[in-house]
Each structure stands twice: as C-alpha cells, then as structure tokens.
Structure 1
C-alpha cells in the first residue's frame, strides 16, 4: 500500500497531519538540502516525538515521495496552455522554476515515475495535450525526450549553483581563475575545435540556454509528431 492509499492515523493528541509534516520537511530541505531531512528532524521542527511520525510515514523515501508530489502542485499550470508544444514548454519551464526554488528537487527528478496525485495530474495534462497526434508509443517517447532534456539541464544548472556556493567563486570568477591554464592548453594546438569554441563562442545566461535548448528539442519532437506531407 502506498503512502497515498494509507489512511492517516487517529491520535487522541492533536493530529500532526501529513500536510504539516510535508511542509516541515520541505522547509528543512530548502534550507539544508535532502541531507538535512530526517523523520527525527521533522519531528523536532513540529515539536513532536519521532514515533508519532511513523503513524503517517514509514520511511524517509516515502517522505521524499510526498515532498516531490507537493512541489508538482507548483509545476501544474493553473490554466491549460495552448497546443502540445506550449504544454511541454510550460511544463519544462515550471519544473525549472520549481527546482530553483527547491534545489533538492534536482536530486529526485528522473528515475521511476512520481505517482502522487499532483504528479499524476501533471502527467495527465501533458499526455492529454498530445492525444491523437501520433500513436501512444511515439507520444510517450516524445514526453520522455523533453523530460530527459529538462532534468539534465536543471541538474547542470543546480550543480553550478552549488559549486558557486562551495567555492565562493561565481562562474565568471572561476573561469578567470582557471583561464591561464586553459590558455596554455589551447596554445599547444592540440585542441583546435575547443579553441574555436572558447574564443569565438558566446555564453548565454542559464535561462536563455535552457530556453534555446528546449526549443531545439521541441523542434526535433515535432518532426515525429507531425505527419509527413502526402
């Protein structure tokens, strides 16, 4: 039985409620990452004994599942966007925005599907927008492709933010610090393609890079969803 199917216990004392437990866990994770979350720490934040939480949640993994589903409520748009492309674009951008508010989400994205009610609502809205455009297997691969790009780009961006905090150096400062080493390596002539990228390429900000890559992925997906001309 999943945590969503299991009824909440009834205590004589004032009930904690899963909503309060989830809110406390998310607050801890927002402040200190997933390593800051444990049933003991959540209980302490709620001024309760840890054993009381086990009536609501059996494991830390269940708690993480509940946290992820709570954030999916932020990903689900209030109004349905236009066509399938806009639906996938909005989902990707709202997922990125949620991950920037809750960086720990990047560690839990991907893998097996999230099965909470909010996550299922996001999946339903996504698949409904693509219904009838192609056979279901093609539609599923299209959604998986966009999701894979979104997850990878988010994890890269969050990793960069974490590195900045860990080193105390912004990305620009880090590049300047390692610039002499890179220049010496490129001067050997062993890396001409890389040298061209470094000297001639531009470096957009994270939001622009995400949006551009997403558009390219959607363009590729469109070729699979759009029937060829007769």
Structure 2
C-alpha cells in the first residue's frame, strides 16, 4: 500500500494543470490568500476521500480475494488501463494550439470561494480514485498506516505547499521563477500529461492484475 500511495501522490503533485492554475492564482491580486484557499481545499478533498473509504471499511483491510478487495483491485486495473488509453489518445491526436482557459482572464477578481472550488475542479480524479482504491487496504490499528495516509496527503499537496511558502517569504523572487515555471509547464503540458498518464497507468494496471491473481 505504501509504495502505491507514494507513486500516486507523486503523480498528483506533478500534474501540470493544477500547478499552472495555482501559479496564476498566486500572481493575482490577494494571491497568497487565494493560494491558501486553493491549497486547503485541495488537501480537504484528499482527506474527505480517505475518510469516506475508511468509513466504508471500518478501518480494517478486507480479506484477500474477498468482494471488497477484489473490487478495489479491479478499480485499480480499470483506472490504470483507462489512463494508458487516455495517454495513447492524447499522443496520437494532432497537435492543437492551446490558449489560456477563459477563467484566467478573471483570476484577479476571483473570490476565495472560487479559488477553493477551482481546487476541486482541477483535482486529477482518476488518480484520486486510484488512491481511494489503495486506501481500502489501510489498517487504522497500525501507526505505520496512519503515517502512510498522512504522508500521501502531504505528498499529493507538496508542490502547492512549496510554492505557497516561497511566495509568502520571497514574493519578488517567487513571482519571477514561478512565472517561468508556469510558461514551461504550458509549453510541455501535453508531454507531461501523456508521460504521467502512461507511467502511472501501467503501474496501476500491473498492481491491479497482481492483486487479483496473487
């Protein structure tokens, strides 16, 4: 479980779409506050998903090859295959010019509530779902599993935490460097999405198959 959560959490934190949006929020008027609203909402989303899974399992991992464990493994396999197919689709489609999303023109006037809602909209839900399928195996009587869940949430939020802290303590330097990072992310968005989707998709599919047949 721990290794799966590390892979999923790393893929979430490296996603180019929400990182670009977060940098735009930080560079806007009241950017630090909007960034904090986005960050806390993002983290709350992860915690809520984990809490729902734990409530369903009662904090005890299901027996191997039981209906819940089979469903979780099948979900991993399905999500993994879906991500691989998605990567292949995006890789094969002809390149298109990417303009900035419409909402970026209104980012300066966005409220804290809007910034928080944007975090839920930009969550990579396939990866969050894979994380939920992995958390099914958590044993809350074990301190190690508690630490693994906390570490997963922090890892999936790490990029946002670093950028928020950097902007808070060194706003001038952060503004220049984060804007350069945003431009790089936008230029390489397709390659990043395809690569992350393919690698994590293959990992999840392999883990799903292993858990089904082992």
The structure whose RCO (Cα within 8 Å, separation 6+) is larger is: 2
TM normalised by structure 1 equals 0.26
Greater C-alpha Rg:
1
